[in-house]
Amino acid sequence: MEELLKSSVNIDFESQGIQEYIEEFRSLPSKTEIAVKLYLKIRDGFLYDPYHLDISPSSLVASKILSKKRAWCVEKALLMITCSRALGVPAKFGFAIVTNHLGVEKLEFYLRRKEIVFHGFASLFLEGKWIICTPAFDARVCKLSGVQPLNWDGISDSLFQEFEGNQQFMEYKRYYGFFNDIPFELMHAEMQVFYPHLFEKQWNEKEFSFRFDKKFII
């Protein structure tokens, strides 16, 4: 459990930016209330953006996310885990392969397949048990997609909605498991398997960008 309260190069909660970001939560009476309010701040504080991805260790640093207005699921999970640990709540990463069935034609065009690989979420230790939360989709994006925002009470797991009414929304195809920190080598390896074209040239367009660390290329 002590490992899940530690900082790292990427989970840099000792940085000034993170310390200032979490200041408002220090006086809250319980860890659960801290976690829930932190979740909402991260969920709605950044527009969900899966079209500009950088999976390099030098970029996936929690304090760097604070300078952005948009973030993708792994960035939001990283910030959730970093801030939780800073506030004394053990936290770890979860990763999965998912398919999104609503409004993803543009993303499928760039990824060239339906699967979203290494979708990230967080797991926090609250009231004696591990609870999953997913702060990725903000309220504005959910409204545009015609789904309800994914709420979280800090008591039960909160993954993506599998259905919105009678229409399927998210489907979890495979779980990678839980990790103390971001498994960069595995992330690069899996994305090379599913999206080999992304590693064949520089993607730095206004509509879509993708960056990676060449040292992990197989």
Q: Show the 3-state SS of 10-74.
A: CCCCCCHHHHHHCHHHCCCCCHHHHHHHHHHHHHHHCEECCCEEECCCCCCCHHHHCCCCEECHH
pLDDT tens, position by position, 121-163: 999 999 999 999 999 989 998 888 777 888 999 999 988 765 4
Residue 190 has pLDDT above 90, yes or no: yes
Q: Give the number of C-alpha atoms closer than 13 A to the C-alpha of residue 194, restricted to the C-beta side.
A: 18
Percent of the chain clearing pLDDT 70 (strictly above): 94
Across the range 197-206, mean pLDDT stands at 95
Rounded distance, CA 151 to CA 62, Å?
22
Contact between 120 and 146 under an 8 Å Cβ cutoff? The reply is no
Quick one: average pLDDT of 40-57? Answer: 96
Confidence band, pLDDT 50/70/90 cuts, at residue 167: low
Question: Nearest 5°: CA angle at 14, between 9 and 18?
Answer: 100
Global pTM value: 0.94
Task: For residues 7-14, give the mean pLDDT.
Answer: 98
DSSP secondary structure code for residue 124 in this structure: E
Q: Which residues pair with 130 in a beta bridge?
A: 125
**Average pLDDT of every residue of the chain:** 92
Contact yes or no for 110/126 (Cβ under 8 A): no
